[in-house]
Chains A and B, each alone.
Chain A
């Protein structure tokens, strides 16, 4: 889809393991993510996808393993050795996190404009007019009408909330966005539009994305590469089309053959 911008990986994940007591959340996961690349993590419920995503996005410390990220200055930094302040700055400038449930990622009691503008204000923008016009611009890019800028997200439909959440995350031009089932819970026509929008934004902005989904169609549409997880382990990975057209592992074959044919 898009040309990779650099030979150096943006995110380097080595042997990430997370235990919940005796239980394994995810085990020994290693991969590299390059700039502009979209990686899908697929698998059934409980396979460790979300655990892995939370470990990557510093929301949950892994039990063992290392995750390194290429900062804007080009240096590789271990995420769990950053100070809390650096981590927070990273999360609201260079990163985005799109939750499955938009209410988790939005401030439901402040207007759409303030939701989009919050990151700008957090990084020091103090000009109301600029913040508002940037917010307005972003609402337009995610197909929300300008006259909804002062409305609470409470009054938005599920699809609009999800698009607002995406705008809120992308306003600071992040380089890496994590998505947790961004299309879950939406009806298929809304899903299709959202996927269309995501695809366009990802391509236009050259975003790197780690997307967790159980929907193989979403993975096929959005991602360049795919990792299949089962019981906490990565059992198969490769180019999306390759894995989905010619799955090697019996479990992946099962997954692929379980897609409903209409």
Chain B
């Protein structure tokens, strides 16, 4: 974070778009969030040149922590080249001019929407989440005054009522994303709409995690190596999703898979949601059962037509 304050020059954006006073304000909120893991810190969220829901919270957090030497990776649903990731990467390339990458290991700051990379993160990396609704109790208790009181008093019985309902109605805990966690034995937190598959990665993660909700004007954080427990019942312990097949392209197991429809005759395949992880494995020579299938060619896999040309 060295010397991001640019000399004012007409027609130029300040480094990473936000003005320096705003960044200071957001950094204060971030520091408070780190000091109280899982606590939602209100902050004066700014209008950003993109609509709410596109990651305005994450963008403001990233803009505030970005330095000139940082290398930025943008993820949208695990992928680096979907709309949201491409737009936001372009935004920071234009306003901050920082180096960007697709590779998880190379990035120092990773902003993500709905996934955590499969590869373990390191202490010198920061993971920034885009959060639509930061309040885990919101759909159970609509009043903000009441939810804040519930957090203050650690009055979290209601959260388990929801899980109870899940089991009563479905026979198992049916919540699959935005699965509530308890941070550092104190605050119940919404880990943003990541699949619950990623919840174990949040626990004791080496990297700093920052969560930004632009519309709701909240920032929260999990410092490195913090205990994060997914809520459950003793007789219905927390479980992550399991896939009965490996990734169709790279053959990886124990990773989160996306289902991709191949044609309108019912053809489908399951591929890694983390596209960088999948590509790296294929570069190393791992091949999945459908890697050679021509139907899978257009899914970022081997593209025979293009290489032939």
Shortest A11–chain B CB gap in Å is 24
Q: Known contacts A88-B155, A111-B169; is A121 also within 8 Å of B234 by CB?
A: no
Shortest A88–chain B CB gap in Å is 6
* A217 at interface by CB-CB < 8 Å: no
Stretch at the interface among B28-36, B41-49, B160-168, B241-249: B160-168
Chain A residue with the shortest CB-CB distance to B233: A128
Near B by CB (< 8 A), chain A positions 78-98 give 84-85, 88, 92
Contact residues in A for B119 (Cβ distance below 8 Å): none
Shortest A90–chain B CB gap in Å is 13
* B235→A129 contact, CB < 8 A: yes
* Residue from A84, A88, A123, A128 in contact with B164 in the complex, judged by beta carbons closer than 8 Å: A128
Stretch at the interface among A112-120, A173-181, A239-247: A112-120
* A53 at interface by CB-CB < 8 Å: no
Contact residues in B for A84 (Cβ distance below 8 Å): 149, 153
**Residue interface bits B217-235, CB-to-A below 8 A is 1, else 0:** 0000000000000001111
In Å, the complex CA distance between A150 and B171 comes to 12
Chain A residue with the shortest CB-CB distance to B149: A84
Q: Known contacts A111-B165, A114-B161, A114-B165; is A127 also within 8 Å of B234 by CB?
A: yes
In Å, the complex CA distance between A222 and B158 comes to 33
Which applies to chain A's interface (DSSP): helix, strand, loop or mixed?
helix
* A107 at interface by CB-CB < 8 Å: yes
* B157 at interface by CB-CB < 8 Å: yes
* A123→B157 contact, CB < 8 A: yes
Chain B residue with the shortest CB-CB distance to A122: B157
In Å, the complex CA distance between A107 and B162 comes to 12
* B167→A128 contact, CB < 8 A: yes
* B161→A121 contact, CB < 8 A: yes
Shortest A155–chain B CB gap in Å is 14
Q: Known contacts A88-B153, A88-B155, A111-B169; is A126 also within 8 Å of B164 by CB?
A: no
- Number of residues on chain A facing chain B (CB within 8 A): 23
In Å, the complex CA distance between A75 and B19 comes to 58
Q: Which of A88, A118, A128 has the most CB of B within 10 A?
A: A128
* B13 at interface by CB-CB < 8 Å: no
In Å, the complex CA distance between A123 and B68 comes to 50
* A121→B155 contact, CB < 8 A: no
Near A by CB (< 8 A), chain B positions 118-150 give 149
Chain B residue with the shortest CB-CB distance to A128: B233
In Å, the complex CA distance between A5 and B162 comes to 39
* B168→A111 contact, CB < 8 A: yes
* B169→A150 contact, CB < 8 A: yes
* B236 at interface by CB-CB < 8 Å: yes
Known contacts A92-B157, A114-B164; 16 further A-B pairs (Cβ under 8 A): A110-B161, A111-B168, A113-B164, A117-B164, A118-B158, A121-B164, A122-B155, A122-B156, A123-B157, A126-B160, A126-B234, A127-B235, A128-B164, A128-B233, A132-B168, A149-B168
17 A–B contacts from the bound complex (CB under 8 Å): A85-B153, A85-B154, A92-B157, A114-B161, A114-B164, A114-B168, A119-B157, A121-B160, A121-B161, A123-B157, A126-B160, A126-B233, A127-B234, A128-B235, A128-B236, A129-B235, A150-B169
Chain B residues with CB under 8 Å of chain A are 149, 153-158, 160-162, 164-165, 167-169, 232-236
Closest 8 CB pairs of A and B: A122-B157, A121-B160, A128-B233, A121-B157, A127-B234, A85-B153, A114-B164, A114-B161
